[in-house]
Structure formats: structure tokens, C-alpha cells
Chains A and B, each alone.
Chain A
Amino acid sequence: MDRISELPQEISQRILYFLSQEDAVRTSVLSKLWRNIWCTRPNLDFSDNNFKGKKHEFISLVNNTLQRYRDQKLCIEEFGLYVSLDDSDRKSILLLEKWIRTLKSMGMHPKEVRLQKVYIEDENFRIIIASCPSVETLFVRSCEGLRNIDANNLVHLKEFCFSPYKMPSAEEELCSIEINPPSLKSIEITYGNLRFERGVDFCNLSELHLTRAELSWDNLSSCKFPSLERLIIVGRLRSKEINLFVDAPKIANFAYSGDFIPSISFATTTSRELISVIGLTMHPNGAPSSWLHKLKELLDSLSQSKVSLCISISREYQMNEDIIQENINLIQENCCDKYFVVERLSLSCHLSSYSSLLNGVFSIFRPRKISLFGLNWKTVWKILMQRESGEQGDQCRKFWERDLEEVSMEIIEKNREGWHSINLSELLNHREIGSSIRFTLKWSNGAISSLSFR
């Protein structure tokens, strides 16, 4: 006989353990000896991605195989199941419950439960969760039918992720989510309503990702995050206001994006350098008249951080010079002669607004780099270099133009890696569409406050 068929069954089963379910089952065709070896391998691994038959055939394959393992009292070391169940498979979710109970009766305790694009109602979900008390990873992605997730009893839960099937309408209530904070290492919630007590210690949490979530920012401000390294918040139009204080001494990355300016500050960090990325989108009806003032406050509270800032003003919103002037006046009242340094600034707005936007932002901070979306570099170049062309500066320019020492340009081209410098005449002759352009600005040293990290 050949070598591989001669191997004792415990070894051939170990070999099959490392194969996918279909590769393992297919060995039954090799020869009579191989006919049933796969039947008792110590793991099951089903994925409807690899299954070309009909959904109900897949479901009954899983059901029958599991039944057989239970009836023959075979050992299962690992069980993996990937199946998508939509609205038309409502009955199958009952089978899912049954399978989890079967596995439990065989001494298996699921460590990971990932539900994706599943129609599941609260009651069924509750039963599934109750059968998996030792679950460590719980993903509920693009699922329909859930109104309430109570994961308080999952004391081993490390990773939790939730997103609904579709974007909820403005009036729709978000799925309410209760979690057990101490064990969690990572939380990612999109369009969910997160509930937790005041003053909780999220002692293991290293990543918190809230996308258009609802929660009490006040409660969150009272919590402790001794392990938090990454905080990502995407603002939600409905709440319109975020007042948050984050007690996270190990924070290393912070990102915010939204259509309003939040008020966020951090407790003093201990060691590492904090990198912040702020993205703001301004709509005509969304931006308050004092947004520059609010932005200054936000930057002030991020003074221990390196900041990249992206401001995008909707095209319909043609900023009024008066509003900007009002903002600048507000800021000049508590005038300082040192300006905050922003590492990178990206700008996008209507061509006619660049001049007032630049005057506005330069009145509160000084960017080292400015990148531009689209073909607007010429406009910005003209604004920055007006004095060289001998034109009269306007009222607002005087605040910044005396400090601007040098402007140079860089480009990214298709066939070359990284940024490299380019001069004006080269750039004017440059025909390549879709290149990114950025300006590097050199400000007089006296005018910028440099960051100091402990």
C-alpha cells in the first residue's frame, strides 16, 4: 500500500484537520480506505461561500453532519460556520439556536460569534447569546430586526462590533446596546445606542470606535480608560453636540470626523505622542457662525497632540466674508502672538471662498502643509503669493502675511513614489490630471508655538 494510506487513522485525521470541509470530504473518493476517514475528523468548518448548491442543501448538510457527530459521540475540537441568512431564511435562525445548543451539549463553548447580514429578532438573539457565555468575539454586522442587545452577561467578551443593515432614518430609534465594560478590548459601534453606567472603568479597552452612535457623552466623560490607545468618533447630525473629556493616559491616536465641531479634551497623557486627525464638513445649515472660534477651542484642547486637519466646505455654502471677519474679531479679542501648528491641512471649498477660508484658518493656526482637492492649487497659490505680485492685501491678510516666510510646492505623480518638489513654471506646464499638489509653508519662528513632548 502507499505511504499516506498506511498512516494510522489518528494521523490521517490530523492531516484532514488542516483541510477545509470540502477538501476533507472529497478525500472519500480517493479509495475505499479513505471513504470514511473524514467522517470523524476532530473539526468541522462550513462556509456557504464555498458551497455552490442551494441554501437549504447547505443548511441540511450542516444539520446532518452535526447530528451525526452528536449521535456517534465524536469529539469536536473546533467548529466553524459561515452562513448568511436573510429575511427569507427566518426559519434557519431557529436552527442556528439548535446547533449552538447541540454544540453546548457536546461540551463546546463558542469563542467567536459573528453574525453578518442576518435577519434576527431580539428573542432569538437573546437565546443564542445565552448559549455562549464564554464568547470572546461578538460581531453583529449589517443585521436586521434587532432592537436591543444585552451583552452584560458576557463577562469574557473582548471584541464587540455592531452595525445595522441599513442607515436608519432620522426618526428611527437606534438599537440599544448594553455591554460589560471590564473585559472589553475593542468596541466598534455604528448607528447604535450605547448604554453604560457613569464612572465605569473600561480597564482593558484599547480601541473605541463610535460611528454616528448615540450615547451619553457626559457618562463617557466620567469613565476611566487606562488602556485606551485609539479613539475614533464620527459625529452624528442628530446629536449636534459633543462635550467630552477623555481620561485615557495611553491614548496614541485620536480621530474625529463630522459636520459639527465637538468639544473634546484629554487628560494629560503619560508618555507617547498623540496623533490627531480631525475632519470637518461644513454645510450651509450646519456650521454655526462662530465655528472658527469653536475650532480654536478644539485645537487648544489638543495642544499636546500633532494635528492633521481636513476642512471641507460644501459648495452650496459660499462663506460670507462678514462671518469670517466676525470670527476673526472674536479670536483677536483674546489675541496671542504664538500660533498653534497644524501638521497637515486639507482644504476643499468653492473657489470664491478660499480667500476668506484661508484668512480665517490662519487667524487661529499655522499649517506646515496644505493639500488641496481638485485643481484649486492655482487659486490658493495666488492667495498665498499675492504680495509678490504686488497686489494690495486686504484687512485680514495682515495677521498672517508678515509671518509667512516661504511657500514651496510638491507633487505626487503617477509613476514616481512619494512627494517631490516642483516649481511654478513646471507646474503650469504639467498636464497630468489627477496629481496631488501640496504647499509647504515656512512660518517665521517667532510666530509659531512648537510642540513639546515629555
Chain B
Amino acid sequence: MAAETGTPTTLTLKSNDDELFSVAESAAILSVTIRNMVEDGCAGGVIPLDNVDGKTLASVITYMNGISAIPADEEKKKSYRDKFLSDKDFETLADMVLAANYLNMSCLMDAVSAKIAQVMEKKSVGWVRRKFGIENDYTPEEEAAVKEEHKWTFEGVETDDDN
């Protein structure tokens, strides 16, 4: 844990492409994964994060610093998260949600998941497939059967040519 010297402890994080990042321990322990390492005394040297690349880690650290600078005010934290995620494309969001899952950061995980879910809201199956490039591997008969099973979910969906 932080030494009682009054100066904030800094941790060094290493991405899987060998980039090094310095971050205040108080911000980094938003990640339960990192917090456990710190508590186990494994944080003396460099903390390797094997599942996160440098670009994503830089972004996650920006988030860690931003959110930990906000005092306990859920409204303000929420608006920071909304703003932080507003300009991210889906590829970036996918990287972030994987990193958040690996780092065990539930607030970031929830925020990114909600952001991705928002894209799918009330959209037709065809639209979601095209948006995310999902390949339809059902045969027409299989697809019709699945649709029939859940036909109540197809009302009120935004219309689409191949809905």
C-alpha cells in the first residue's frame, strides 16, 4: 500500500506491446485486478497487463485519471463517462470493454456495454447484422423457425428491408 510519506505513489503499467505508463496508484486501483496486485505486494516494479494494448491502455488511464478526480457525485461521474465515450467508434469500444473486463473495472464495463447496447436498441435484426458485420449462418428455414419462436419481439422495431 501507499507509503505514509505524503507523496502519492505512482505505479508503472506495461501494455502487451511493451509501452510503459505511469499512473497514480489512487486512480489505478479502480481496477480490481491492479488493486489485488498492489495488495499482494506485486506492484513494486512494473505491472504487466498482457491482455491490453498500448492504445487501449492509454485510453483506460485517461478514464482512470478523469473519473478519480471527480468527488463522490454520481451525476457528475455519469456525465464524465458519457462525454468520455461519446467520440469512440465501435472498434475502440470493443477494445475498451475487453480491457475493462480483464482489469475488472465494473463502472467502465457497464458504461461501455450500455453504450454498445444503445446502438442495438429497437433496431431490426438486419440492421444490427450490417452495423456489426455479423454473418448470418442460419438457413432460411432455421431463421424462420427462430423468428416464429420469438415473434412477439418483432413488433415496434424500426422498419428495415430485410427485417
Point out residues on A near B: beta carbons under 8 Å. Answer: 1-5, 7-8, 10-11, 14-23, 25-35, 50-53, 57-58, 61
Q: Is the CB of B146 within 8 A of A29?
A: yes
Q: For the complex, what is the distance from the CA of A332 to the CA of B143, rounded to whole Å?
A: 87
Q: Is the CB of A11 within 8 A of B152?
A: no
The smallest C-beta distance from B69 to any residue of chain A, in angstroms, reads: 26
Report which residue of B113, B138, B154 has the largest number of chain A beta carbons within 10 angstroms of its beta carbon: B113
Across the interface, which residues of A come within 8 angstroms of B155, CB to CB?
A: 22, 50, 52
Q: Is the CB of A32 within 8 A of B137?
A: yes
Cβ-based interface call for B73 (8 A): no
Across the interface, which residues of A come within 8 angstroms of B142, CB to CB?
A: 32
Q: Is the CB of B121 within 8 A of A11?
A: no
If over half of B's interface residues share one DSSP class (helix, strand or loop), that class is named, otherwise mixed; here it is: helix
Across the interface, which residues of A come within 8 angstroms of B116, CB to CB?
A: 4, 15
Number of interface residues of B (CB under 8 A): 38
Q: For the complex, what is the distance from the CA of A21 to the CA of B152, rounded to whole Å?
A: 11
Instruction: Name B113's contact: one of A17, A25, A33 (CB within 8 Å).
Output: A17
Contact with A along B120-139 (1 / 0, CB 8 A): 11100100110011111110
Q: For the complex, what is the distance from the CA of A52 to the CA of B151, rounded to whole Å?
A: 10
Instruction: Name A27's contact: one of B120, B154, B157 (CB within 8 Å).
Output: B120
Q: Is the CB of B153 within 8 A of A22?
A: yes
Instruction: Name A30's contact: one of B113, B136, B156 (CB within 8 Å).
Output: B136
Cβ-based interface call for B118 (8 A): yes
Q: Is the CB of B110 within 8 A of A29?
A: no
**Known: A3-B90, A52-B155. Is A31-B110 also a contact (CB below 8 A)?**
no
Cβ-based interface call for B64 (8 A): no
Q: Is the CB of A29 within 8 A of B150?
A: yes
Cβ-based interface call for B105 (8 A): no
Q: Is the CB of B135 within 8 A of A26?
A: no
**Known: A8-B101, A11-B98, A61-B152. Is A26-B157 also a contact (CB below 8 A)?**
yes
Q: For the complex, what is the distance from the CA of A106 to the CA of B98, rounded to whole Å?
A: 30
Q: Is the CB of A31 within 8 A of B138?
A: yes
Q: For the complex, what is the distance from the CA of A14 to the CA of B135, rounded to whole Å?
A: 22
Q: Is the CB of B138 within 8 A of A32?
A: yes
Known: A34-B134, A52-B155. 11 other contacts (CB 8 A): A3-B94, A4-B134, A11-B97, A11-B101, A15-B113, A21-B153, A22-B155, A23-B153, A30-B136, A33-B137, A35-B146
**Known: A4-B132, A18-B113, A18-B114. Is A29-B97 also a contact (CB below 8 A)?**
no
Report which residue of A17, A21, A29, A50 has the largest number of chain B beta carbons within 10 angstroms of its beta carbon: A29
Instruction: Name A7's contact: one of B98, B117, B137 (CB within 8 Å).
Output: B98
The smallest C-beta distance from A90 to any residue of chain B, in angstroms, reads: 24
Q: 18 A-B residue contacts at CB 8 Å?
A: A3-B91, A3-B132, A4-B116, A4-B132, A5-B134, A15-B113, A17-B113, A19-B117, A19-B121, A21-B153, A22-B152, A22-B156, A25-B153, A26-B125, A26-B153, A31-B129, A31-B138, A52-B155
